[in-house]
Amino acid sequence: MSTTDPGAGALYPLGLRVRGRAVVVVGGGPVAARRARGLLEAGALVTVVAPQVCPQMADLLAGVADADHLPRAYAGGDLADAWLVHTATGDPAVDARVAADAEAGRTFCVTAGDAGADGGGTAWVPAVARVALDEPSGPAEVVVAVNGGRDPGRARRVRDAVAAQLASGELPLRAVRPVARTGPGRVALVGGGPGADGLVTARGRALIARADVVVVDRLAPRGLLADLADDVLVVDVGKRPGHHPVPQEEIDATLVRHALAGRDVVRLKGGDPYVFGRGGEELAACRAHGIEVEVVPGVTSAVSVPAAAGIPVTHRGLSRGFTVLTGHEDVGRVPPASDHTVVLLMGVSRLAESADALVAAGRAPETPVAVVEDGYGPRQRTTVGTLATIAAVASGAGVRAPAVVVVGDVVRLSPAWPGTRTGTRRDVEFRP
């Protein structure tokens, strides 16, 4: 392959530091303005050569100390001190002359519209994505440059897709080289949503991708752990009903210990950190030791799991509000109005007691109830009944945690409720 062949493999990708170095832009139109803006943002000393400039270029040059404008046509000698030249005049003959002068002066040249034909420029501008990073040693960024093989549109599409994956944490951004740190690490309390990997927020996923330590709950989206690097420490503090092998005080101490050792820690929870997630306690424990904490909200299972079963917690004409409680609290204090939905988390073990308490507080025994198991998980199932029957129905169906209990007329909207459209195979037949 000839060294001038613009085909595959002919380009040597390279990033240039142009801060404080002279760069010439020939042309005053919108394309030249975009090139000049990028160069100025990179710190270059820019000289624009053009008889006239467009409004964008005029605005850019106004009051900028590092930019000069020569209001005339290009002339020989304009590239004498330049490290790099961009030519975008719209006149192929002028652009070719600039490229030839740059070649003779051993100055790299970017020619607008040049797809790589012989006689054109010697450099190309890729589509660039920049992702800002808040590293322990200070602000940094990851720069991704894409050359589309003579197709700028393709390069932009690839660039945008890569940038989105970097920002969401789908691609690794965690530093590999050891980073000098003068203080403690940081802790992020990340709500992982109801358990499905795709329901964590983009911010949460990005923090997980950069973490040194991940302290994870049983109901968190554990599929995300498979993407972590081998040297990321995963601490499992999962709890099961009646079995809490790691007390909350020890979880707090774990977060503090790793952060004080200079590590960035993610506390990955199911649902939302502040909806029965004890996030407030963990925040207080970290702040008591001077540790910076970020709280990333998650999609709470109190709303999302009923939605997965086709049940809105509020609905025009059926429910004007809702209350979320754990199954271990006095549900009899909830307003008994028929247009008020009750959502019980961790309520399977005391389902009978909760149903009786709601009836005793004024709810009709015929009030619809749904128990949604393993929302968004492989064994998601909806069991329906009434306050009078749900305990027996759930027991007969073998309902088990994790599950969310929904009480109220909105349950009638579930596909599992009699009279609605046929439910899925995951729905349990209603028994009055």
Residues 62 and 143 in one domain: no
**Structural contact between residues 202 and 282, judged by C-beta atoms closer than 8 angstroms:** no
Residues 310 and 292 in one domain: no
Q: Is the pLDDT of residue 431 over 90?
A: no
Is 182 inside any structural domain?
no
Q: What is the mean pLDDT of residues 221-235?
A: 89
Residues 288 and 267 in one domain: yes
Residues 294 and 316 in one domain: no
Share above pLDDT 90 across residues of the chain, in percent, rounded to a whole number? 62
Identify the band that residue 2 occupies on the pLDDT scale cut at 50, 70 and 90.
Answer: very low
Identify the band that residue 430 occupies on the pLDDT scale cut at 50, 70 and 90.
Answer: very low
- Average pLDDT, rounded, for the chain: 87
Q: At 133, which helix (H) or strand (E)?
A: strand 127-135
Q: What local confidence, expressed as pLDDT, does residue 243 receive?
A: 60
Between 11 and 383, residue with greater pLDDT: 383
Q: What local confidence, expressed as pLDDT, does residue 174 receive?
A: 77
Q: What is the domain extent for residue 277?
A: 187-299
Q: Is the pLDDT of residue 52 over 80?
A: yes
The answer for residues whose C-beta is within 8 angstroms of residue 207's C-beta and 6 or more apart is 169, 188, 190, 266, 294, 296
- Chain centroid offset of residue 279 CA: 20
Residues 290 and 374 in one domain: no
Catalytic residue among 217, 264, 272, 374: 217
Nearest to 64 by CA among 47, 88, 89: 47
Residues 87 and 160 in one domain: no
Catalytic residue among 239, 339, 356, 409: 239
Mean pLDDT lowest for which of 46-60, 330-344, 364-378, 393-407? 330-344
Residues 282 and 311 in one domain: no
| C-alpha to C-alpha distance for 206 and 312, rounded to whole angstroms | 30
Mean pLDDT lowest for which of 113-117, 206-210, 344-348? 113-117
Residues 211 and 283 in one domain: yes
Distances (CA, A) of 276 to 129, 133, 273, 311: 39, 31, 7, 21
Whether a cis peptide bond, with omega within 30° of 0, leads into 402 is yes
- Chain centroid offset of residue 328 CA: 34
Residues 295 and 320 in one domain: no
Is 336 inside any structural domain?
yes
Residues 306 and 295 in one domain: no
- Tally of CA atoms within 13 A in the half-sphere of 135 that contains its CB: 18
Is 9 inside any structural domain?
no
- Say whether 239 is catalytic: yes
Q: What is the pLDDT of residues 129-159, one digit of tens each?
A: 887 776 655 667 788 888 887 788 898 899 9
Q: Is 420 helix (H, G, I), strand (E, B) or coil?
A: coil
DSSP 8-state assignment for residue 428: P
Last residue of a domain, which of 265, 299, 333?
299
Distances (CA, A) of 242 to 97, 238, 346, 392, 412: 80, 12, 11, 22, 32
Q: What local confidence, expressed as pLDDT, does residue 1 receive?
A: 32
Q: Is the pLDDT of residue 196 over 50?
A: yes
Q: Is 241 helix (H, G, I), strand (E, B) or coil?
A: coil
| C-alpha to C-alpha distance for 312 and 323, rounded to whole angstroms | 13
Last residue of a domain, which of 268, 299, 330?
299
Question: 3-state SS of 276-297?
Answer: CCCHHHHHHHHHCCCCCEEEEC
Mean pLDDT lowest for which of 43-57, 285-299, 321-335, 399-413? 321-335
For residue 205, the domain's CATH number is: 3.40.1010.10
Is 40 inside any structural domain?
yes
Whether a cis peptide bond, with omega within 30° of 0, leads into 245 is no
Torsional class of 414: left (φ above 0), alpha (ψ -120 to 50), beta (otherwise):
beta
Q: What local confidence, expressed as pLDDT, does residue 396 receive?
A: 95
Is 421 inside any structural domain?
no
| C-alpha to C-alpha distance for 235 and 266, rounded to whole angstroms | 10
Last residue of a domain, which of 269, 299, 329?
299
Is 419 inside any structural domain?
no
| C-alpha to C-alpha distance for 250 and 4, rounded to whole angstroms | 65
Q: What is the mean pLDDT of residues 211-220?
A: 93
Is 273 inside any structural domain?
yes
Q: Is the pLDDT of residue 212 over 80?
A: yes
**Structural contact between residues 173 and 209, judged by C-beta atoms closer than 8 angstroms:** yes
Both tokens of 122, joined, read 């010697």
- Chain centroid offset of residue 372 CA: 28
Residues 191 and 292 in one domain: yes
Q: What is the mean pLDDT of residues 348-377?
A: 94
For residue 336, the domain's CATH number is: 3.30.950.10
Both tokens of 35, joined, read 């090139």
Identify the band that residue 125 occupies on the pLDDT scale cut at 50, 70 and 90.
Answer: confident
Number of domains in the chain: 4
What is the pTM assigned to this prediction?
0.69
Is 425 inside any structural domain?
no
Residues 164 and 224 in one domain: no
Q: What local confidence, expressed as pLDDT, does residue 8 receive?
A: 47
